[in-house]
């Protein structure tokens, strides 16, 4: 699609927020490529994207350290008419095409795509929980989310993750 053109979505579209991260290989390039690929999903278009941020790996239990190199992270707003589980399938297909392996929890990743929010609709299935269950505990999610959607993140939520080191690399 030529620059400046946008892919149209149906009247039933919602705004979904997707966290994008990588810490293996050229992580910055992987995050940028993933953001571009998200804009090419069927019935979807990127509305906003955050700056890139560098953060240390965080374990599922945020009190524990995780292994691996620092992550490059971003969050984007995606207008989509895809149902939540179809969007999840598309995200996982992009991860697979980037060489993502799920060898163990919190393993380093060539690409990590997490569906954070899907409009105002909660999802609770065996495959997907939205809002993302750990998003409110992670600076690498909340800081870039607050950059593009400040009304979704409170000052108290940002204070709760203020001890987690996060460095803005650039506006992207």
Which member of 45, 54, 100, 138 is catalytic? 100
Q: Which pLDDT tens digit goes with each residue over 151-162? A: 999 999 999 999
7 given a catalytic annotation = no
Which member of 112, 124, 159, 168 is catalytic? 112
Q: How far apart are CA 35 and CA 158, in angstroms?
A: 24
Residues above pLDDT 70, as percent of the chain: 81
Whose CA is closest to 129, among 111, 115, 149?
A: 115
70 given a catalytic annotation = no
Domains, in order of start, for the chain: 14-170 (3.30.70.560)
Which member of 109, 156, 159, 168 is catalytic? 109
Please give the model's pTM, rounded to 2 decimal places: 0.86
The DSSP code sequence of 71-133 is: EEEEEEEEEE-S-HHHHHHHHHHHHHHTT---SSTT---S-EEEEEEETT--EESSS-EES-T
Task: Find the mean pLDDT for residues 6-34.
Answer: 84
Query: How big is the chain, counted in residues?
Result: 172
109 given a catalytic annotation = yes
Model confidence band, residue 10 (pLDDT cutoffs 50, 70, 90): very low
Q: Which pLDDT tens digit goes with each residue over 100-122? A: 555 545 556 789 999 999 999 89
114 given a catalytic annotation = yes
pLDDT number for residue 146: 98
Which member of 114, 127, 159, 172 is catalytic? 114
Is residue 97's pLDDT more than 70? yes
Q: Which residue has the higher pLDDT, 65 or 84?
A: 84
């Amino acid at each position: 699609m030529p620059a400046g053109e946008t892919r149209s979505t149906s009247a039933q579209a919602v705004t979904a927020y997707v966290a994008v991260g990588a810490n293996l290989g050229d992580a910055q390039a992987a995050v940028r490529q993933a953001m571009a690929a998200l804009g090419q999903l069927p019935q979807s278009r990127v509305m906003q994207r955050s700056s890139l941020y560098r953060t240390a790996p965080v374990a599922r239990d945020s009190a524990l350290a995780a292994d691996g190199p620092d992550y490059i992270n971003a969050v984007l707003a995606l207008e989509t008419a895809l149902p939540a589980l179809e969007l999840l399938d598309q995200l996982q297909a992009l991860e697979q095409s980037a060489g993502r392996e799920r060898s163990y929890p919190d393993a380093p990743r060539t690409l990590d795509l997490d569906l954070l929010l899907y409009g105002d609709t909660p999802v609770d299935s065996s495959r997907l929980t939205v809002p993302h269950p750990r998003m409110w505990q992670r600076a690498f999610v909340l800081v870039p989310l607050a950059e593009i959607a400040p009304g979704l993140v409170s000052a108290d939520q940002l204070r709760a993750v203020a001890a987690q080191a996060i460095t803005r690399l650039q506006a992207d």
